[in-house]
């Protein structure tokens, strides 16, 4: 976790560190370690990690759970004014849900060249959604890489 250090509160790095903690919690439960948080007005309103294995639900990705929780918290079907931080580039399914949610910004850490939505382009997101990536990419990518390395040893 070399990228986790003294960071300014309310920065992209601070919030990605919180998403990383969610991903690590998922790894402890034998879930693919992806974590997501939703932030509104510099306040974390939803936290989630993958729950595909525990719920036996292929759609229980961290992003889906986080946006559903945030919508319930806000009492709204849209997340305008909110930012999603996620440790891995969302898949196409999640990108579709994120488009409907109309977030202001999505920040992801590690790229997913096999299943990531950017294989198809930013056009999958809502046109007003800003996109940033690479924040803590090394640490978040290593968490997933190490998880799968361990799985192959078993």
CA atoms of 134 and 108, how far apart (whole Å): 7
CA atoms of 152 and 29, how far apart (whole Å): 17
Please indicate whether residue 63 is annotated as part of the active site.
Answer: yes
Write down the catalytic residue from 63, 89, 111, 123. Answer: 63
Looking at the annotation, which residues are catalytic? 63
């Amino acid at each position: 976790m070399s990228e986790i250090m003294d960071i300014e509160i309310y920065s992209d790095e601070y919030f990605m560190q919180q998403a990383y903690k969610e991903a690590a919690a998922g790894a402890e439960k034998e879930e693919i370690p992806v974590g997501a948080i939703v932030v509104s007005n510099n306040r974390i309103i939803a936290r989630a990690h993958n729950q595909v294995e525990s719920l036996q639900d292929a759609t229980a990705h961290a992003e889906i759970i986080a946006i559903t929780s945030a919508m319930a918290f806000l009492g709204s079907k849209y997340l305008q004014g909110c930012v999603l931080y996620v440790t891995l580039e969302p898949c196409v399914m999640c990108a579709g849900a994120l488009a409907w949610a109309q977030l202001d910004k999505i920040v992801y850490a590690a790229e997913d060249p096999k299943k990531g939505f950017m294989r198809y382009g930013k056009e999958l997101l809502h046109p007003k959604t800003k996109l940033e990536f690479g924040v803590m990419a090394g640490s978040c990518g290593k968490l997933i890489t190490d998880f799968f390395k361990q799985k192959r040893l078993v």
